[in-house]
Structure 1
Amino acid sequence: MSRHIARRAPKETIGFAWGRFPTVYGSAITWRLYRRDHRRALHMHAETFFANEDRTVVAGRLRRARRYLREKVDDIDLVAMGVAA
């Protein structure tokens, strides 16, 4: 089994964390990205890929997903600070 297909539980961090969860038969892998806001509330974004998908495609989509989650949580923090509406 390839390392990028194996299960990986998310680490307990204050900021960003991620986990990898393959299906029972290993045909698909769900990556879950987590980020905490200023209240330490947890926000999640999930992306699912087939196991045989090209790793460069997976990496690109995960980068976009991480950026999306970061912007989403940053918007929440800015509204809480009263900087954005």
Structure 2
Amino acid sequence: MSDWAFASVQIALIILIGLLLPCVWRLLQSRKAAERLQAVDLLTTLLIGIIVLLALVEGVAFVVDIGIALAAFSFIGTLAIARYISDGRLF
């Protein structure tokens, strides 16, 4: 990886990690379930981005599979919680 690409990845990691803090704050301060759902969904999206960038830096391909699995579980969880908010039941 060239120097400018490595620096770009490092800057992106710093930005994503910095964005985790307001997301966690929003998760803890929100009173409505829909707002907490949005915060958790954004939090998992940021974590997936961090995982993929770390896999790129380390050169380990199977870590991307962990990010894909996290995305799938996040999607299923978002659907379940959204249905619980709207209908009052999970399945």
Higher alpha-carbon Rg: 2
Q: TM-score, normalised by structure 1?
A: 0.46
Task: Choose between structure 1 and 2: higher strand proportion.
Answer: 1
Structure with higher RCO (Cα < 8 A, 6+ apart): 2
Task: Choose between structure 1 and 2: higher helix proportion.
Answer: 2
Q: TM-score, normalised by structure 2?
A: 0.44
